[in-house]
Amino acid sequence: MSDQQDFPEHPDEHSAIDQSDTPASTGHALALPGQQLPDKVYVIPIHNRPFFPAQVLPVIVNEEPWAETLDLVAKTEHHSLALFFMDTPPEDHRHFDTSALPEYGTLVKVHHASRENGKLQFVAQGLTRVRIRTWLKHHRPPYLVEVEYPRQPAEPTDEVKAYGMALINAIKELLPLNPLYSEELKNYLNRFSPNDPSPLTDFAAALTSATGNQLQEVLDCVPMLKRMEKVLPMLRKEVEVARLQNEISAEVNRQIGEHQREFFLKEQLKVIQQELGLTKDDRSADIEQFEQRLAGKKLPEQAKKRIDEEMGKLAILETGSPEYAVTRNYLDWATALPWGVYGKDKLDLKHARKVLDQHHAGLDDIKERILEFLAVGAWKGEISGSIVLLVGPPGVGKTSIGKSIAESLGRPFYRFSVGGMRDEAEIKGHRRTYIGAQPGKLVQALKDVEVMNPVIMLDEIDKMGQSYQGDPASALLETLDPEQNVDFLDHYLDLRLDLSKVLFVCTANTLDSIPGPLLDRMEVIRLSGYITEEKLAIAKRHLWPKQLEKAGVAKTSLSISDSALRTVIEGYAREAGVRQLEKQLGKLVRKSVVKLLEDPDAKLKIGNKDLEAALGMPVFRSEQVLAGKGVITGLAWTSMGGATLPIEATRIHTLNRGFKLTGKLGDVMKESAEIAYSYVSSNLKQFGGDPGFFNEAFIHLHVPEGATPKDGPSAGITMASALLSLARDQAPKKGVAMTGELTLTGQVLPIGGVREKVIAARRQKIFELILPEPNRGDFEELPDYLREGLTVHFAKRFADVAKVLF
């Protein structure tokens, strides 16, 4: 201990507790000021936190092993014992390490001892610090020790007083923040003077929520000033924590209060508005909204009955129930449909022709077909639903024709792609029982367009998929049948819809993958590719202005010559449609914008000489039309449009008879070659060749571009002509192309794709054609500009072909 401490007989602390309060277990009066302090006391360890001399608190200990200790304390004259703090309680209180006790404990007076459920409870009144001098009994409880008491300096110094004031101020700050502290303060003031520094410091330490070990350090610190220096920061920290907790709880209360106030006001407002009839609850508002939607619509009897039933159900369901949400969703769809609402058609052929000409260059046969369709509507007074299928290679404008039809009719247009669709529920809707069920695309289309007679485009109908979820192509059968779609049934609505006034426009690249029954329900209109002149017109009128607008370039700053456009078309974009052409023009514009950034005032004009720098070397060279003995030019149809197909035949040797085919040919084409070989071999004398030519000749027939698959019967007469040319040892007439299927008896049968094949011939500058006689009508239907300048021979038999060639 420091030199300022010694151990007097009397403590410095005072006791000011009412004398009338006698302990229940002893019947003796409480300690009074100046009363003799015992030099031998019993010891009980406590574990939560140290007990301070300034405290009066209940203490609870186990009956076993401390009952005997309390009985002995009750028999002493002073009724006191020493409480020492132990941070970790020993496993067995009968045997514990006495050195584990700290240096100082507190002498307490015991009041009101009582037993209950194996526990002993007594009120401990702290008297003074106490230190063990010697252990008199320490093997097992009760533990008896001889003790000594520290003495405080009688008069506090100015420094101690200043610290005392700081402690009092901190306690004052703490009181408003937590009302519990005020009760403890009252208890303290009843027993001690507020100016007495030692109990004040101990009381301040006891108020804090510091750990047991930190508080024991305060108890161990007897010198007044040092003890105050330890306690003041602890108390300040407590003030800060209490203030922070107060702010947090005030903010939480404020937010809760605002929400509650808002909630109460809203509920009151609802009730007041309902009482005055100014507003409805959610259910009434929903029902009213659905009824308003149906106003002015002509519902079929069955639909009206069903919707009324669902409305009745909605009126009695609880708004929070899942069934309410399902019913409300159903009514939302059922009432949003345009029952009996039809848009008025513009049956003005002049207007329609103007719209079609404005949007599309070429395609005259398609425009005529659309105008005929409109003319029937105008004559009849209404256009009933029709199903048109536009078939053609990519990029020829099938989708945009659908839009033009809608515009010329003045009907709303709705497009959805069925390419890759694998679930029939996309067409006919899901059953209502499923979670997330919704109607099919057709119901969604009608809801969006708000009339029952829109133009609906089903894009990419040849690319529909199939899966375990059904076959959407079969689901379309009912939709696209004019006899059945009067009563189209959507699975979600479970109501009959009249789709007979809808104009369906479908698009496809090829007919092969469309199921027969579906194809049978549609009127097929073929769009073949464009010839160079048409592409040139489209590029000038539509594509070039569109690319300039996309790049934000003025027409005056950038232009392209007609010859450059023609070179782009023939050298870089020779496909049937115009999509590739548009990409190439976009590339030209982008390259030009780079130059315009360097010189914004420049006026650029793209000519032929600029193309290779911008677009690279031409992809397509002008094909050399092969000529000579055994070489014939055929005409072929591909999904990308028409093409010329040269066929070559040669004799390899005369050692043995044989016939060899190359050029990646399909089965049908191989069969055509066999037929041509058989026919020419058996009829060689008739056509002026050596009858024994094929008996000892090994013939090789090749179709160039061996990597490209080729199939179809229409090269029959071409192959036969090549073989005949070889056998006659005579080159055929130059500049002639042909197409037609050949039979073993020499008949020439009709073929498809006349328009594409004629376009391919014109592109190659071939102006003399041989076509099958049955295709005469197809040729005469072609527009004048395609037929202009062509010499066409129509062949019934192969002899007609030979006559032209040789």
Residues forming the annotated binding site for ATP? 392-399
Instruction: Kindly name the residue from 15, 592, 714, 725 that is annotated as catalytic.
Output: 714
DSSP-derived letter for residue 797 is B
The whole-angstrom separation of Cα 596 and Cα 605 is: 12
Can you say whether the dihedral through the CA atoms of 440, 442, 446, 448 is positive or negative?
A: positive
The whole-angstrom separation of Cα 5 and Cα 223 is: 8
Q: At what angle do helices 608-615 and 562-571 cross, to 10 degrees?
A: 40
Give 504's contacts (C-beta < 8 A, 6+ positions apart).
385, 386, 387, 388, 456, 457, 458, 479, 480, 522
The one-letter amino acid code at 145 reads V
Instruction: Kindly name the residue from 109, 441, 535, 757 that is annotated as catalytic.
Output: 757
CA atoms in the 13 A half-sphere facing the CB of 566: 7
The one-letter amino acid code at 303 reads A
Coil, strand or helix at 776 = helix
The whole-angstrom separation of Cα 370 and Cα 353 is: 9
Contact 338, 446 (CB under 8 A): yes
The whole-angstrom separation of Cα 550 and Cα 565 is: 19
Per-position DSSP letters for 30-42, written without gaps between them: PP-TTPPPPSEEE
Which tokens is 112 given? Answer: 């009101």
CB atoms inside a 10 Å sphere around CB 284: 12
714 in catalytic set: yes
φ, ψ dihedrals at 439, nearest 5°: -65, 170
Tokens 């591909």 belong to residue: 638
Distances (CA, A) of 525 to 369, 417, 506: 8, 19, 10
Q: Identify each DSSP E strand in 587-697 by its residue range.
A: 604-606, 631-638, 641-653, 658-662
φ, ψ dihedrals at 113, nearest 5°: -70, 140
Which of 330, 518, 339 is CA-nearest to residue 418? 518
Which tokens is 265 given? Answer: 């006001």
φ, ψ dihedrals at 675, nearest 5°: -60, -45
Q: What is the CA radius of gyration of the chain?
A: 53
DSSP H helices in 699-792: 716-728, 754-763, 776-780, 784-787
Please, which contacts does 780-784 make with residues 24 or more away whose CB atoms are closer than 8 Å?
A: 781/365, 782/754, 782/755, 782/758, 783/364, 783/365
- As beta bridge partners, residue 659 has 699
DSSP H helices in 79-193: 158-177, 179-189
CA 430 to chain centre: 21
237 in catalytic set: no
SS (H, E, C) 440-485: CHHHHHHHHHCCCCCEEEEECHHHCCCECCECHHHHHHHHCCCCCH
Contact 53, 13 (CB under 8 A): yes
Catalytic (active-site) positions: 714, 757
